[in-house]
């Protein structure tokens, strides 16, 4: 991000998540098998046993992303896949329009 911003590019970070599953970790109290879509690695866990550690880790990751965006003056837009693109882009584009005027 720093490299792109340094070269005078306008950088916008759209953090695409499934809020219900990734941020709220809304899973039933039972065992699950999670599969990494990039590597295919599988992890079998009981959701309630990892919930607190997962939420702490994802919270720290998001905080770090937001801090770096603030540091480099990069717009951070959280995009929940369950909202559809209009609910994500419309508020952002309206904000940008006010900034340009």
Q: Which residue has the higher pLDDT, 66 or 1?
A: 66
- Is the pTM value of this prediction over 0.85? no
- Most confident among 9-18, 65-74, 78-87 (mean pLDDT): 65-74
In this prediction, what percent of the chain has a pLDDT beyond 70?
A: 97
Q: Which residue has the higher pLDDT, 31 or 85?
A: 31
What pLDDT is stored for residue 96 in this prediction?
73
H helices of the chain, in order, are 2-6, 47-71, 84-100
In this prediction, what percent of the chain has a pLDDT beyond 90?
A: 50
Place 7 in a pLDDT band, splitting at 50, 70 and 90. confident
How far is the C-alpha of 60 from the C-alpha of 73, rounded, in Å?
20
How far is the C-alpha of 28 from the C-alpha of 63, rounded, in Å?
26
């Amino acid at each position: 991000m720093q490299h792109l911003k340094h070269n005078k590019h306008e950088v916008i970070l759209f953090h695409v998540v499934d809020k219900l599953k990734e941020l709220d970790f809304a899973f039933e109290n039972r065992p699950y098998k999670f599969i990494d879509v990039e590597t295919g690695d599988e992890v079998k866990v009981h959701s309630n046993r990892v919930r607190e550690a997962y939420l702490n880790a994802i919270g720290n990751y998001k905080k770090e992303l937001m801090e770096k965006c603030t540091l480099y003056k990069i717009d951070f837009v959280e995009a929940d896949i369950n909202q559809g693109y209009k609910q994500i882009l419309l508020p952002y584009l309206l904000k940008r329009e006010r900034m340009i005027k």
